[in-house]
Amino acid sequence: MKRTHTVAILGHGVVGRGVCDLITNNQRELVHYLGCEVKIAHILDLRDFPDSPYGELVTHLFDDILLDESVETVIEAMGGSHPAYEYTQAALSAGKNVITSNKEVVANFGDKLVRLAAENGVSYRFEAAVGGGIPVIAPMLSSIRQNRILEVRGILNGTTNYILTKMFTYGDSFESALSDAQALGYAEKNPDADILGTDSARKIAILTALALDMLPSVDEIHTEGITGIRASDVRFAESIGHRIKLLGRCISNGGKPVVCVAPFLIPCESPLASVNGVYNAVEIVAEPLGNVMFYGQGAGAGATASAIVGDMIPIVTGGGYNPIVPGFNRAEHFIRAEFSTFSSRFYIAADERHRDELTVLLEAEPYSEEGGEVVYITKEMTEKEMDALTERFEGELLSKIRFI
Amino acid sequence: MKRTHTVAILGHGVVGRGVCDLITNNQRELVHYLGCEVKIAHILDLRDFPDSPYGELVTHLFDDILLDESVETVIEAMGGSHPAYEYTQAALSAGKNVITSNKEVVANFGDKLVRLAAENGVSYRFEAAVGGGIPVIAPMLSSIRQNRILEVRGILNGTTNYILTKMFTYGDSFESALSDAQALGYAEKNPDADILGTDSARKIAILTALALDMLPSVDEIHTEGITGIRASDVRFAESIGHRIKLLGRCISNGGKPVVCVAPFLIPCESPLASVNGVYNAVEIVAEPLGNVMFYGQGAGAGATASAIVGDMIPIVTGGGYNPIVPGFNRAEHFIRAEFSTFSSRFYIAADERHRDELTVLLEAEPYSEEGGEVVYITKEMTEKEMDALTERFEGELLSKIRFI
C-alpha cells in the first residue's frame, strides 16, 4: 500500500483546525487503520495564522491546491454556499475527492456534486454534514439499506435542543435560554438559521435523499422553528409526560413522502425525549429492522473532525467508488404538496375568550383552563383539516404543537 | 455487475427464517443497492419443513452446500459452538464468505476464523453477533476508527434489561420479573447465559477486539450477572436518581485494559439509563469524537436478519476484503489481572448489626438505615481495596453494586 495520502483543507476555523489536530494527534491510529500516513499539504484561508503550528501551510490561493497534483483529497470546512460550491466543483473536476461538513452545499447542490464525483471517478462524502460526529450517513449507506425505510426523525440542531432543554430544566423563557446559548457560544449572534429551523431542514433534506432516494429542495420543506415556544408550553408538555423537541422528519407514507421540520411533543419514554443539551440524535424506523437510534455530539471541533477524517477511510482503503449516487436525484415539488395530508394530534392553547368557538370547531372539551388560557388536545387530523379549522384564529392561537 | 449472489443458510430457526423473509420481501431493495438479485440455494436443518414456503430448499447434508460452487456466501444462523465452528471453517476454507449472528463462535474462535477468511480471500462478518440489528460493528470498523477509543460500554443483553426494567417500573422481585420474561419468550427456560452475564461477556469480548485490538478470552473477563439484584436495590437507585443496568465495559485505561460485565448504578441523565425493555445500546467514548451511542432492538428475527443481510453489502459491492483483521488477535491473560486495579464508588447494603464495623472499614458514615439494613455509598476505591475491606463479610453483604 502507498505510504502517504495527501490532503488540503479549505478553511482554518474551528472545524478546519479540529481536522488538523486530529490528523496530527492520531497519526498512529490513521497509519494503523488506513495503512498509510496522512499529510496536510495546504490550508486555504483568507487570514494568516503566524502563531499556529499549521501557519506555514496556509495559502490564500485556491489554485495552489487545485494545481497541486499530489493533493488527492480536499476537505471543505469553509461553510456557506459560495465559493464552497465552486471550489468543490473545481476539485472534483480535477479528479480530487472532496469531503465536507457543509450541509448547505450538500442540501442545495448534492445531486450535482455526487454526479460530478461519479463522472470523475472520485468520491464526494459528507458524514459531518448531519449529526456532527455521529455515524449516520455511513450506516444509512451500508448497514441498513437492505431495509424498507418507513421514517427518519432526528434532533438535528444542537443550538435549539440546548434552548429547549434549558427551558425544560430551568423553566426559562425562549429569549432567556437563547441569550444563555449565545453567551456560551452554542448560538451565533444571528441565530436565525438555527432557531427558525433552516439548519434542520437542510439536514433532513440530506437524510431524505438517503432514505427515500429523492433530494427535496430545502424551501419545499414545511419548516417551523422554536421561536414561538413558550415556557408554559414546556410546562404543559411535562405535565402530560412529554418533552418538546425540534424534529426533522421524513416519512415514506406509502410512496407519498412527507418531510417537515417542526417542534413536536414526544412521550418521555421515547429515546429521542432523553436527548438533551447540544446532543443530536437520529432515529430510523425500518422494516424488518425496527427502530434504531444514533446519538452523539452534533457539533464541535473534535466531533466534526472525527466525521470528516472518518470519510477518508473508504476513500483510502476502498478506492474512489462513491456509493451515494443512487439516492441523490433531485425531487421536484413533491414535498410541500404532501404535507397537507400529514396527520397528527395537536396541543392547542388560546385565550379563554375563544373557548366556546374552539370547543365546537375542535370537537373536543378543553383539556385544562388556567390563567386566562384554554388548552386542548385534539383528535388526530390532517394539516389541511387543522388549517381550515383554525383559519379564523390566524395569529390568535397562543400555541399549536403536534404530537409525534 | 453480475446478476445473482447465491447464498446458503445454516439453520431454519427464528433467525434463519427471518433472513429468508427479508431476502424474499425486500428483493427490490437488494437489487437496488446490491446491484444484483440474491438467491437462496440451500437451507441446512435437521428438521423438515413441509409447510414452509422455503421447505423445498431444506437439506440435511452440509456437503450439499460445501460442494455447491455456486454458493458464494454461507449464513450461519445455527447458534452454539459446534458444529457451527467446524462448518464455518469448512466454508471459509472452500472460498465462501461467512456471515454469522453467533456471538459464541465469534468470541471463542473469531481470531482463527478472521485469519482463515483472510488467507482464503473471503470475508467473515458478524454485525448480528452484537446488538442485534443495531449497526455497531460496522461503525467501529469504519466511521470511528480514526479516534482513540477510551471506553466501550453497552447494554448488550435484552433479557436482563427487560428484567431490570420490570423491577424498576413495577417494583417486581428478580424472580417474578424473570418468570414474566420467560412467559413472554424473552428469556429461555434455562436463562443462565443471560442472567449470569455470559452472553454479555461474549459480546463485550468482541467489542474489545474492535476497540482495543485484543480479543480477550471470555473466561478471563470478570463477569457478574443480575441474580443478586434485589427490589430494594432498584428502589435505592431510584431514590438517588439512578438506574441499575447490566453493562459490558471495556476501558482502555492507558494501555492496561479493563474488561468486565456487572450491574452498574447509572445516573438517569446518562443516555444508557433510558434504554429500557429488550432494547440494547452501545456507547463509545473516543478522542476527539466524544460520546456516541447506538440504540435499537438487540434480538428478534427482523432485527437480526437486517444485520445479517447488511453484512452482504460490503461482500457484494466491495469484494472479499475483510477489514476486521487488525483487531482480532488473541489477548492472553491481560484481563483478569487488571480488573483488581479498576476503581469505582460502591453502593453497599448490609445487615445493621455490621454497621459499626463497616463504618470503620469503609471510612464512611451510613447513607441510610431502614428495615434492619444499613446502606453506604463509598468513596472511590479499587477492586483490590474493596475485596480486602469486605473479605471478612464474605456472603454477608446484601448488596455491592458499583457506580459507573
Sequence-ordered strand ranges (E) for B241-333: 242-251, 258-267, 279-287, 290-297, 330-331
Q: What is the CATH number of the domain that holds A247?
A: 3.30.360.10
Greater pLDDT, A240 or B313:
A240
For residue A43, is it within any domain? yes
Q: Which of B225, B209, B272 is nearest to B404 (CA)?
A: B272
B168 and B291 fall within a common domain: yes
Range of the domain at B45: 4-136+302-331
- Mean pLDDT, residues B160-170: 96
In the predicted model, what is the mean pLDDT of residues B172-177? Answer: 97
Q: pLDDT at position B58, please?
A: 98
CB contact under 8 A, B288 and A276: no
Q: Which residues of B touch A302 (CB under 8 A)?
A: 287-290
Q: A290 and A157, same structural domain?
A: yes
Q: Final residue of a domain: which of B310, B331, B352?
A: B331
Same domain, B174 and B289: yes
Residue B332 is predicted with a pLDDT of 64
Same domain, B248 and B307: no
- Is A358 part of any domain? yes
CA B34 – CA B312 distance, rounded (Å) = 8
- Would you say residue B142 lies in a domain? no
The last residue of a domain, from among B288, B312, B339: B339
- Residue B142 has its nearest CB partner, among A144, A291, A313, at A313
Is A326 exposed, middle or buried (CB count within 10 Å of its CB: 0-12, 13-18, 19+)?
middle
CB of A277 within 8 A of CB of B264?
no
In a shared domain, residues A213 and A249:
yes
Q: What is the CATH classification number for the domain harbouring A393?
A: 3.30.70.120
**What's the distance, CA B208 to chain centroid?**
11
Q: Are residues B278 and B225 part of one domain? A: yes
Cβ distance B146 to A317 less than 8 Å, yes or no, reads no
Residue A206 lies in a domain: yes
Within a domain: residue A319?
yes
- My answer on whether A155 and A122 are in the same domain is no
> Do A353 and A307 reside in the same domain of the chain?
no
pLDDT, residue B322, reads 56
A226 and A157 together in one domain: yes
In this structure, is residue B128 part of a structural domain?
yes
Give the domain CATH number at B56.
Answer: 3.40.50.720
Quick one: B228 and B317 in the same domain? no
Q: At CA A17, angle to CA A11 and CA A21, rounded to 5? A: 145
Nearest to B135 among A139, A307, A318 (CB): A139
Least confident of A47-51, B228-232, B335-339, B360-364: B335-339
ipTM of the complex in this document: 0.91
Per-residue pLDDT, A35: 82
- Across B352-371, average pLDDT: 93
Residue B320 binned pLDDT confidence (cut-offs 50, 70, 90): very low
Structural domain ending residue among the three candidates B287, B312, B339: B339
Residue A177 within any structural domain of the chain: yes
Asked if A312 and B276 come within 8 Å (Cβ–Cβ), the reply is no
pLDDT bucket at A256, cuts 50 / 70 / 90: confident
Peptide bond into B326 cis (omega under 30): no
- Are A155 and A230 within one domain? yes
Our count of domains for chain B comes to 3
The Cα A192–Cα A209 span in angstroms is 25
**Chain A positions in Cβ-Cβ contact with residue B276 (cut-off 8 Å):** 269
In this prediction, residues A262-273 reach a mean pLDDT of 94
Residues of A acting as catalytic residues: 203
* Amino acid A299: pLDDT: 87
Tens of pLDDT, residues B339-357? 888 999 999 999 999 999 9
Q: How confident is the model at residue B34 (pLDDT cuts 50, 70, 90)?
A: confident
Tell if the CB–CB gap between B26 and A148 is shorter than 8 Å.
Answer: yes
pLDDT digits 0-9 by tens, B8-28: 999 999 999 999 999 999 998
The answer to whether residues B291 and B306 belong to one domain is no
Q: Is residue A141 one of the residues assigned to a domain?
A: no
Query: Quick one: average pLDDT of B220-232?
Result: 96
Q: Mutation test of the interface with chain A: which of B146, B268, B284, choosing the one with the most A Cβ atoms within 10 A?
A: B146
Scored b (16 or more CB within 10 A) or e, A369-387 reads eeeebbbbbbeebebeebe
| Catalytic residue (choose from B96, B166, B203, B400) | B203
From residue A403, alpha-carbon distances to A243, A264, A285, A362, B394 in Å are 10, 5, 17, 16, 53
* Cβ within 8 Å, pair A295-B296: no
pLDDT surpasses 90 at A323: no
Q: Give the E-state strand segments of A128-211 in sequence order.
A: 148-155
DSSP secondary-structure letter at A380? P
